[in-house]
Amino acid sequence: MYSGAEPSPVISIDLNSPAPAYRQIVDQIRHLLVEDSLRPGDALPSVRRLAMDLGVHHNTVAEAYRSLAEEGWLEVTQGKPVRVLQRAQSPARNKQERAELQEGYARRLRHLVAEMKASGVSRDWISKLLRSISEE
Amino acid sequence: MNWQTLLIAFWVIAPVAVLMHWLPLMRKPYFFSVGVPAGFAKSAAAQPILLRYRSGNIVMAIVEFALVLYGLEFKQPLLILAGASIYAIAIFILQRQAQTQAMPFRVETSSNIRAASLAADEPVSWWMYVVAFAPYLILGAAALYVAMHYSELPERVPVHYGVSGQPDRWQPRSTRSVFGIFVIGAAVTLLVSSTVLLMIFGARRGAYQSSYQNRFLRANLLTMAGVGCGTSLLISGIGLMPLRGIPDVFTPPFWIVNVVSMALIMMSLYPVLVFSSAPEESDSTPDQYWKGAFYSNPDDPALVVPKRLGIGFTLNFAHPTTRYLFPALILVLFGAMIYVVR
């Protein structure tokens, strides 16, 4: 059915999740990019095709692709296939922008850790998890 | 009224009525498009619903039979169309009633977990294009053959045949009278190839190559290949008939083409029937968007989805493209039907 020799990566979203669908798509594609399951030059499905396969609105997928394009991961041009870019490790940003970005990550991580603690996850397990994820 | 007219009316109506009898149970997790527990169709709760629908089906098939018979006997094509239309509307109403009655027994079959492949390409292989366009090639080759032998055609050519294969209407030889049948063939082929292209580009694909959706799509494309090639073979055979002169007796080639094309169409139903039972994964079409055999979900970007009632795919009637596409397809279909029954 698909022409690629290797099986293509699969993403899955949960429509019941409190996280918006576009955010779930962004997070999963970014994960695949970081772990090299998607490489520079790889083509992704069109907005129309991915929206249809997931059964979500076109705007949801368009928003996700736009977000990844802004991060420098994807090339999204009207009428052309969406492609993975050779992304510089740190896209051109000044010092203040980088500080704001890092503060944003720290805030999201604090919220997540607080949520984990509230649901009874131990501090020890959280620190081990954070270390192992950062070393992946 | 002769026995032949009776037989024609019976063979046109009976297979559809039998199909309608079984249609609501053909895709196993669904009962009249409603997701139900396993074995529900045999339960005591399901019996009155089935009985009411099936007896309604028989009564309406008899009404249609009477109208078609009258239409055939007194050469009133509008009555034949009226019979078919009344039956189609009645079946829709009966199925909607049964669906409403089955709703209290519904179980959730559509999942909120959605998976998709990140493969860039459409689920297209070269053979799928062959499926879409082979019927045109068959028709084109036959039309070309007739054009090359145009001077050998008789001065008066048959333009309409009875079911026994005998011509019953004639016209002077002209481009229209000789090639009209190929135009009709192209219209029917347009319907088949549009359906194939809709299935390739407008249906959800499965996350994995071996997903149920992908296997179901392939099976349906094989069926469309049989239907498309069978129909264009039959029409090409009819288009080639005038080259045989003016047959006034039983004409074997007509029957050969007829039997071969019918066999091809019947055989091609097999793969779809194999896949008509339980899908292994959710079809991502929530129950509330099914109205009998029709699917209408404005939030679903899919143009066609696998049917829950019967076999094959159906249009998403809430999709903006369907507003233009559906009337266009219906016009082509009715145009061809009116030509045939005239």
B279-323 per-position pLDDT tens digit? 556 678 888 888 888 899 998 999 999 888 877 889 999 999 998
**A78: distance to nearest CA of chain B, Å?**
15
Q: What is the pLDDT of residues B151-202, one digit of tens each?
A: 888 888 887 776 556 777 788 888 888 888 888 888 888 888 888 889 888 9
Mean pLDDT on B216-224: 85
Confidence of residue B60 (pLDDT cuts 50, 70, 90): very high
Which residue among B119, B204, B299 sits closest to A8, beta carbon to beta carbon?
Answer: B119
How many A/B residue pairs have CB atoms within 8 Å? 92
pLDDT score at A91: 57
**B209–A48: do the CB atoms touch at under 8 Å?**
no
Instruction: Please tell me the predicted confidence (pLDDT) of residue B48.
Output: 95
Mean pLDDT of chain B: 83
Supply the pLDDT for residue B25: 84
Q: Does B126 touch chain A (CB under 8 A)?
A: no
CA of A45: how far to CAs of A9, A19, B117, B119, B150, in Å? Answer: 11, 22, 8, 6, 50
Pairing of strands B167-172, A74-75: unpaired
Residue B273 confidence (pLDDT): 72
A81 touches chain B (CB under 8 A): yes
Quote the minimal CA–CA distance from B125 to chain A in Å. 6
Q: Assess contact for A13 and B113: CB atoms under 8 A.
A: yes
Subunit contact B205:A1, Cβ cutoff 8 A:
yes
pLDDT of residue B342 exceeding 80: no
Look at residue B245 in the predicted model and tell me its pLDDT: 64
- pLDDT higher than 50, residue B250: no
Q: Is this complex scored with an ipTM above 0.90?
A: no
Q: What is the pLDDT of residue B253?
A: 59
Buried b (16+ CB within 10 A) or exposed e, B89-100: ebbeebbbbbbe
Q: What whole-number distance in Å separates Cα of residue A63 and Cα of residue A50?
A: 12
CA B230 to chain centre: 13
| A chain contacts of residue B316, beta-carbon cutoff 8 Å | none
Q: What is the pLDDT of residue B249?
A: 47
State residue A96's pLDDT score.
82
- pLDDT in the model for residue B219: 84
pLDDT, residue A13, reads 92
Residue of B110 and A57 predicted with greater confidence: A57
A66-70, B104-108, B139-143: range with lowest mean pLDDT: B104-108
**Looking at residues B261-268, what average pLDDT do you find?**
72
B312: left (phi over 0), alpha (psi -120 to 50) or beta: left
Distance between CA atoms of residues A124 and B269, nearest Å: 61
Distance CA B198, CA B145 (A): 31
Nearest to B302 among A3, A32, A55 (CB): A55
Neighbouring CB atoms inside 10 A of B74's CB total 9
> How much is the pLDDT for A132?
86
Please give the pLDDT value at position B163: 57
A15, B112 Cβ separation under 8 angstroms: yes
Percent with pLDDT over 70 in chain B: 87
For residue range A29-41, list pLDDT tens digits in order.
Answer: 999 998 888 989 8
Q: What's the pLDDT score for residue B58?
A: 96
The whole-angstrom distance between B81's CA and the closest CA on chain A is 37
Q: Report pLDDT for B282.
A: 66
